[in-house]
Amino acid sequence: MSCCGKKRKQIRRNLISVTTSVENHESSGPEVLLRYTGSTSLLVRGHRSGQTYFFSASQPEQAVQKRDVDILRRTGLFVNE
């Protein structure tokens, strides 16, 4: 297999891993609705919960575990709804 084929295979594996993580999300505490104010897509992992969140301009709102809210808001990219 060529070099490029290996890279594509690894990217596919990583994407499947992230997708599975998002799909298997089970809330483990109170959640807060956050709105992303950026204009590009963003995949971010909660510092305290380890939960992966996906935001985009077309889907800017998402329920975020309360323990991750403060650190995400400090970025200046999120506001509480």
- At 18 the pLDDT is 47
Which residues, 6+ apart, have CB-to-CB distance to 43 below 8 Å? 18, 52, 53, 54, 55
The number of distinct structural domains making up the chain is 1
Going from the C-alpha of 9 to that of each of 3, 19, 41, 67, the distances in angstroms are 10, 15, 22, 34
pTM comes to 0.62
Distance linking the first and last C-alpha atoms of the chain: 49
- In 3D space, the residue among 13, 16, 34 whose CA is nearest the CA of residue 24 turns out to be 16
pLDDT band at 16 (very low <50, low <70, confident <90, very high): low
- At 15 the pLDDT is 56
Tokens 């889907």 belong to residue: 59
Average pLDDT over residues 38-66: 94
Range of the domain at 26: 3-80
Residue 52: is its pLDDT beyond 70? yes
